[in-house]
Amino acid sequence: MGYRVWYSTESFADYVIDNTVLKQKPLVKRKIYESDANNPVKFHTLPDHIKRILYLDAPDIIVEYDMEPIFSIEVSTEAGTGHNVFQRFARLAASVENNVPAFYIYPEAIIVSRKDSGAKWDSINPLIFKSLDDIMNIYKIPALLYYFPTDYHSCSTVPSESTHLRNKGIRYEQNLKYAGCPDTKATEMQNLFAAINRVIYTVEQHGIISGREKLLSDSCIMERRRFMNAEYNAKAGNSEMSPLSATRIIPTACLLNYLSRYETKDYRVGELLRSREQTLVYQVDAAFRGDPYAGALAAIDYLKCRTGKTFEERRYNLVLCWGKLQVDEEQGICTVVSKKCSVNDFMHTVQASESKNLLSKGYGELSSEQIPRYYMQVRYGSTYSKVKHIRVYSYFADAILFADGALWRDA
C-alpha cells in the first residue's frame, strides 16, 4: 500500500515530504476532515484507523504506512506562555494514546508588543516538556517538541533588533511553495526531519508494532528526550506554573458531599469517584469555552493524575470546575461561585452539536450520501458529531462542576 500523508494544509504536507525520506517513497496525499461536526459531508469517508486518532481533535498531519499510522505532527506559532502551549495537547494525547508517535512544533518564544512595556519575548511554558515526558513514560511512545525557528537566541535581550520583527521574531521558510512553514535551514527543523526519518526507517526495518516498541531506545529519539528534560530544568520548570497553579487537591469527601444533593433514595454516586481519597480540581473562572482549557485539562491529567493508560488509573479524581471553588475541609463541604458561566452553557453546546446527529431519522429520510454517515453514527454514536472541547472535557474529566449544576461519571 505504501504511504499516505493526511493533511489539514497541503503546503505543510509538501514541506514534510520534500525534506524527509518520504520524497523517495511511493505515497499519496489525502485531506484530513477534523470531525463530523466540522465536516459532516466528508468526515465519515475517512478510514477507521484515522478516525481513531481524531476522537479528541485533529493534528495537522498524520502519516500512515501500509494502512497503519506511524506518526503525527502538530504545528503552532502562538505565544507559549501560561495555558497557551497546552492548547493543542489533546491532539498529541490522542495520537500517543493510539500508539502513534507525535511531533509538536512550537516557538521557544515570540515577540509581543504591549503599550506599557513595548516589544518583549513571550517564552514557552516549560511544563509542556514535563507533560510530554510523562505521557511517554506511560505509553512508551515518542511525544517530542521541536522549536519553530525564531530570532530568540540572536537578540533575546533586545527583541526590537529581530530581523523578523514584523513576524513576531518567527523565521518562516522563504520558498513560497511552503508558505507559513518553518525555516528549513534551522537546526531544530533538521533535527525534526532526522527524527521523522528514524521513525520511517525503524517501522520499515522492524514492522510497525515492533518498530514502535524500539523507538524510545533509538539514539536520535533519546537525544531529543534528554534535550527536552534539560530545557525543562534550564527554564526553571516547576509545579507552581500554569495550568497547575489553577489546581488544588481536596478530600474526595468534600466532592461527594457536593454531589450528594443529586442523590435520591434510588440513586447514589457510583464507585469510581469514591475509589480515590483525594480529588484534583482544575478551576477555570471564565466564560464557558474550549481553548486553551481543554488542552490544559488533558495535560493536567498526565502531569498530576494519570498512573496508567486509562482514566480509571489515576491517583486523584480529575475534576473541572467552572468558577471559584470554596472548600471547608473541617465541615467537609464545598461550593462553586461563578457569574461567568452555567451548566446550561455546556448543555446548549451539546444540544447544538446534536443537530448533526442522523440517528433520529427514518431510513426514508436519508439521502444516499447520508447512509454511510448514518451507519458510522450507529457505530460511534455522536462521538464525532460533538464539538472538540465537549469531547475533550467529557473524555478527561471525572466530573465537571458549575455553580448551578454538575456532571459526573459513575464508572
Residue 361 forms part of a structural domain: no
Q: Are residues 221 and 261 in the same domain?
A: no
Three-state secondary structure of 330-386: CCCEEEEECCCCCHHHHHHHHHHHHHHCCCCCCHHHCCHHHHHHHHHHHHHCCHHHC
Question: Which of 208, 234, 260 marks a domain boundary?
Answer: 234
Q: Are residues 124 and 59 in the same domain?
A: yes
d(Cα 223, Cα 230) in Å, to the nearest integer? Answer: 11
Residue 368 forms part of a structural domain: no
Q: Are 409 and 319 in contact (CB under 8 A)?
A: no
Looking at the structure of the chain, the number of domains it has is 2
Query: Residues 280, 272, 276, 262: is their CA dihedral positive or negative?
Result: positive
Q: Are residues 222 and 250 in the same domain?
A: no
Q: Are residues 64 and 209 in the same domain?
A: yes
CA of 41: how far to CAs of 30, 34, 201, 304, 376, in Å? Answer: 15, 11, 36, 39, 12
Domain range for residue 290?
Answer: 244-344+389-408
Q: Are residues 224 and 193 in the same domain?
A: yes
Query: Residues 314, 56, 369, 355: is their CA dihedral positive or negative?
Result: positive
Low-confidence ranges of the chain (pLDDT < 70): 1
Q: Are residues 180 and 307 in the same domain?
A: no
Q: Which residue, among 145, 149, 52, has the nearest Cα to 103 in the 3D structure?
A: 145
Q: Are residues 266 and 213 in the same domain?
A: no
Residue 362 forms part of a structural domain: no
Residue 149 forms part of a structural domain: yes
Residue 78 forms part of a structural domain: yes
The predicted pLDDT at position 316 comes to 98
Residue 366 forms part of a structural domain: no
Residue 372 forms part of a structural domain: no
Residues 148-191: tens digit of each pLDDT: 999 999 998 999 889 999 999 999 999 999 999 999 999 999 99
Q: Are residues 227 and 153 in the same domain?
A: yes
Question: Which of 214, 234, 254 marks a domain boundary?
Answer: 234
Q: Are residues 123 and 102 in the same domain?
A: yes
Residue 126 forms part of a structural domain: yes
